[in-house]
Amino acid sequence: MQHTVTIDCPPEILLGLHLNAEGFADYLKKQAAINLFKEGKLSSGTAATWLGIGRVAFLRLAFDAGATLLEDTVDDFARETALL
């Protein structure tokens, strides 16, 4: 089931970003997917599917935006070294 979310956007924002409504919606969707992934609320696979791109392509976008796979915590280190 698909849901549509509607937001109000003043025309000045679209003009300032040089985007039409569709381009702005695509931009917001990509930013939302990346941020939800960074917050641990979406998996990379779910985010990629939502954006209609492959998982590796999504991970490249997310990493370019500052996402990390590990937080470099003691728990992350223990989990990763337990696999060795």
Q: What is the pLDDT of residues 47-66, one digit of tens each?
A: 999 999 999 999 999 999 99
Contacts of 48 (CB under 8 A, 6+ apart): 54, 55, 57, 58, 59
> By residue range, what is the domain housing residue 62?
11-81
Residue 71 lies in a domain: yes
* pLDDT < 50 positions in the chain: none
Q: Give the count of domains, the chain.
A: 1
Q: Nearest-CA neighbor of 47 among 57, 37, 39?
A: 37
Residue 45 lies in a domain: yes
Residue 67 lies in a domain: yes
Residue 5 lies in a domain: no
Residue 1 lies in a domain: no
Residue 59 lies in a domain: yes
Residue 72 lies in a domain: yes
Look up the pTM and report it.
0.78
Residue 21 lies in a domain: yes
